[in-house]
Amino acid sequence: MAHRLKVTISNIIGLWFGADTPIRQYKILMNPELWAACLQVAAEFRPESGALCVEQYRKADKVAFARAVQAELTQTREEIMA
């Protein structure tokens, strides 16, 4: 049973910031493009709150991260189509 996630803010936050469980690992395995975009964004993302670690991120930081992931996926898809 494949579990392809819709690229919503909520799904991205749950995937990236969620507890490491077997279900999360399965979602990562089934969504390699989304996970790669999360990794790419995480490498250069700086939260507006100035939090030094992910555990200190505020809701606004998580939403900004998810929007950056959505933008990364859009850009990647446009490059592939061009």
pLDDT number for residue 78: 79
Q: CA–CA separation, 26 vs 38, rounded Å?
A: 16
CA angle 74, 45, 47 (to 5 degrees): 120
Domain, as residue range, for 14? 9-81
pLDDT digits (tens, 9 = 90+) for 51-62: 999 999 999 999
Does any domain span residue 63?
A: yes
Does any domain span residue 45?
A: yes
Number of domains comprising the chain = 1
72 and 16 Cβ atoms separated by less than 8 Å: no
Does any domain span residue 57?
A: yes
pLDDT number for residue 23: 94
- The model scores a pTM over 0.75: yes
Determine the angle formed by the axes of helices 9-17 and 32-44, rounding to 10 degrees: 80
Does any domain span residue 66?
A: yes
